[in-house]
Structure 1
Amino acid sequence: METKLISSGDEEGLKLAASLLKSGNLVAFPTETVYGLGANGFDSEAVAHVYRAKGRSLSNPLSLLLADVSQIEKVVTDVSDKAKKLIKAFSPGPITFVLKRKNIVPNIVTNGKDTVGVRIPDHEIARKIIRLADIPIAAPSANTSGRPSPTSAVAVFDDLQGKISAVVDGGDCAVGIDSTIIDCTQEVLTVLRPGVITLEMLRQVVGAGSVQMKEDIIEQNHYAPSAPMFILEGAPNKIEDEMKSYIRKAVDEKKRLGIIASDELIAGISNDVLTYSYGTRGDMKAIAGNLYRALRFFDDHKVDVIYAEGIDKMGIGLAIMNRMYKASGYRIITL
């Protein structure tokens, strides 16, 4: 299969992308979080193709992307007042709401569950494609399952070229990590996956007692680079000293070592290893945007091992560390 590359500025190309989706083909396109792999959310065979193209387990349900709030009632029911407040406050945006699904949503989308995630992306090209297709789009991240989520069209091509019909190139994603997921089906709402819409932000809208974080957010290895990855946590000076010892060892053993860290740490270490800066300490937006790019960078350079500087788990930092832990398989070195 030839995978077409469509520019986000090509109006006819966007119409083609929408037409391909509506007719059961797969099209990857940008959102503000990561690139999504889209399929007609009402077409069971198209959705099955998503699982095959990604190598994704059928037990892992998909979410639906919608063009605007008015489309939500077409696919879900029993939307509580709390959920409505959050939808109004944060949509369009990087947050997925888990709600009771209507029967029109195929079982294969939800793995037979009576709930489905819905999101309105804060990305004009994504919403335009969905509007043109005039259907909900089942859209997980546009990568091979288990690999880092793609934040560029090039990353999508690396994983899915020849497996899908088209990729819409909209440049790099602004947010860079996957959306917050919140279960809105119970009296107390539960954050299932942290994201840039934080627990604190949600509580400001519906009250502190109305939203909780899922206690155990440890999941199977996900977002993983090819090389084993270790997370170093502790005081910055201790992390830097430990990084230097790993560098010396890697040089002695002739191993290709990769370092993901802040500008501050990288400035103090040797040039004998590959490094990728995720930004300055405390710049959470930059760190989120660079994390998956860093993981794919080290895949491209075929390093033997990766060491990463951990960050504070406050606010957006919790979402970033959630992804880093998964990428490392929870290999954590506490200093």
Structure 2
Amino acid sequence: MARVTANTIDIEKAAGVLRAGGLVALPTETVYGLGANAEDPAAVARIFQVKGRPPSHPLIVHIGGAEQLDGWVQDVPRAARLLAEHFWPGPLTLVLRRGPRVPLEATGGLETVAVRVPGHPVALALLAAFGGGVTAPSANRFGQVSPTTAEDVRAELGDAVDFVLDGGPCEVGVESTIVDVTGEVPSILRPGGVTREDLEAVLGAPLAVPATSPVRVPGQHPSHYAPRARVVLVEPDQVVAEAELARERGHHVGVFLPPAFPGATVEAHAVVRVPASMPAYARGLYGFLRRLDEQGCDLIVASLPVEEGLGLAIANRLRRAAGPRPTV
């Protein structure tokens, strides 16, 4: 697998790989995606195979603009058009009724489809060159830490990807917000790069954030976004004590030191000082988790941020990272 940069030649080559049924890792503003031709069931099936992703877990279809929705979806309500107008291109995914262009293989057998317009110039250039929709979950093994650089993709998937477009580090760093607009009241099924507060300001009404939903969407598995190290969540003022206790018990401990304790010291194998800025924290979150894995930590002690703005998405990812792991 050749190392590439995202120039015009590379984009045209990547589009050709998609047309031929291959897989392309592409940058978005959120994380790197593992892309395939959304209308090619065999190519879509290969995504599931490479990721080790259960076929019942739906994928997000990426398109080049809201004007391309016809055929991919049906019955676009006013709320969906309003959100698309304000947040596309960008880290917002809308769940709508499936249109005829979307194979059931991409939706996990559902009659709904998740669709978005990515806010990255390389992704948009690839979609324009390809001329169709691209299914693109995160370019990593199922349930593990999402990649935010091309190097992460290569380390995770190697030659299982036919082509990698290197668009630099992702600016947002956590996945898109998923909003279900198929019901009477829009609801957030996964918090992400567009905040609840911004969505509500546009809609002029509160959004539900249900604990569970009959609509399956990416990122709902109990254990997700997880490093190799086990993640333990405690209150911010308990992080240092919990980390030192784990160290005494023989763990190689990694610590997410909360910004409320800038001068604190902790005896640990590796320490990440969490940024006070939530955008900076979101941008660095997956890189922090990967770094602690690379440094040989077997346990990570962290706390949740205040669940406002991007803090809601960060807390969601940390809870999933700390979720119960499947038994082998």
Quickly name the TM-score band, shorter chain normalised.
over 0.9
Q: 1:53-81 CA distances to partner (integer Å, 9 max, x unpaired)?
A: 00000000111001112211131111011
Task: Give the equivalent residue in structure 2 for 1:273.
Answer: 269
2:2 maps to what in 1?
4
In 1, the alpha carbon distance for the partners of 2:243 and 2:200 equals 43
Q: In structure 2, what residue type is equivalent to 1:4?
A: A
What's the offset of the Cα at 1:200? 2.1
Aligned mates of 1:172, 1:263 — CA distance in 2: 23
Report how far residue 250 of structure 1 moved. 4.2
Secondary structure, aligned partner of 1:67: coil
Contact 2:127 2:133 in 1 (8 A): yes
SS at match of 1:200: helix
The answer (yes or no) to whether the contact 1:69–1:91 under 8 Å persists in 2 is yes
Picking from 297, 305, 309, the partner of 2:299 is 305
**C-alpha deviation, 1:113, in angstroms:** 1.1
Distance 1:198 1:229 in 2: 25
Amino acid at match of 2:105: I
How far 1:272 moved relative to its partner? 4.3
Indicate the SS of the match to 2:28: coil
Moved more, 216-225 or 303-312: 216-225
Contact 2:252 2:268 in 1 (8 A): no
For the residues of structure 2 that align with 1:310 and 1:189, how far apart are their CA atoms? 26
> In proportion to residue count, which structure has more strand?
1
Whole-angstrom CA distance in 2 between matches of 1:66 and 1:213: 26
Q: How does 1:239-250 map to 2 (within 5 A)?
A: 239=237, 242-250=238-246
Q: Is the 8 A contact 2:243 2:255 kept in 1?
A: no
Q: In the alignment, does 2:119 pair up with 1:117?
A: no
What one-letter code is carried by the residue in structure 1 that aligns with 2:93?
T
SS at match of 1:46: helix
Task: Tell me how far apart the structure 2 counterparts of residues 321 and 251 of structure 1 sit (CA, whole Å).
Answer: 24
Q: What is aligned with 2:81?
A: 84
Name the counterpart of 1:165. Answer: 162
Give me the whole-angstrom Cα distance separating, in 2, the residues matched to 1:54 and 1:153: 16
Q: Which amino acid aligns with 2:154?
A: F
* CA shift digits 1:31-55 (9 cap, x unpaired): 0000010000000000000000000
Aligned equivalents of 2:18, 2:221: Cα separation in 1 = 31
Counterparts of 2:56 and 2:319 in 1: how far apart (Å)? 22
Give 2:148's match in structure 1, choosing from 126, 148, 151: 151
Q: Which amino acid aligns with 2:132?
A: I
Greater shift after overlay, 187-196 or 51-60?
A: 187-196
Give the count of matched residue pairs: 319
CA RMSD, 1 decimal = 1.8
Distance 1:63 1:116 in 2: 7
1:256 matched to 2:252: yes
d(CA) in 2 for partners of 1:164 and 1:322?
28
Q: Which residue of 2 aligns with 1:316?
A: 310
- The answer on 1:291 being equivalent to 2:289 is no
Higher helix share: 1
1:257-308 superposed Cα distances (whole Å, 9 cap, x missing partner): 100133553631135430122312xx11011111111111112122121101
Once residues 249 and 267 of structure 2 are traced to their aligned partners in structure 1, the CA distance between those partners, rounded to angstroms, is 16
What residue is the counterpart of 1:28 in the other structure? 25
Confirm whether residue 186 of structure 1 aligns to residue 180 of structure 2: no
Code of the residue aligned with 1:31 in structure 2: it is T
**One-letter amino acid of the structure 2 residue matched with residue 178 of structure 1:** E
Dislocated runs of 4+, deviation >6 Å: none
Task: Give, in whole Å, the separation in 2 of the partners of 1:81 and 1:272.
Answer: 52
Aligned to 1:38: 35
Q: Which residue of 2 aligns with 1:142?
A: 139
Q: CA deviation at 1:325?
A: 0.3
The CA deviation at 1:254 is 4.0
Q: Which amino acid aligns with 2:264?
A: G
Q: Is the 8 A contact 1:24 1:43 kept in 2?
A: yes
- Percent identity for Structure 1 against Structure 2: 37
92-101 vs 271-280, greater mean Cα deviation? 271-280
What letter corresponds to residue 297 of structure 1 in structure 2? Answer: R
CA spacing shift, 1:320–1:15, aligned 2, 3 Å: same
Q: Partner amino acid for 1:7?
A: T
Identify if the C-alpha distance between structure 1 residues 289 and 136 changes in structure 2 by more than 3 Å, giving closer, same or farther: same
Does structure 1 retain, via aligned residues, the 8 Å contact 2:24–2:36? yes
Structure 1 residue 4: Cα displacement: 2.6
Q: Which TM-score applies when normalising by structure 1?
A: 0.90
Contact 2:222 2:324 in 1 (8 A): no
Secondary structure of 1:121 counterpart: coil
Structure 2 gap ranges (5+): 214-219
Instruction: Show CA shifts across 1:129-168 (max 9, x none).
Output: 1110111000000010010111111111111111110111
CA contact (8 A) 1:220 1:326 kept: yes
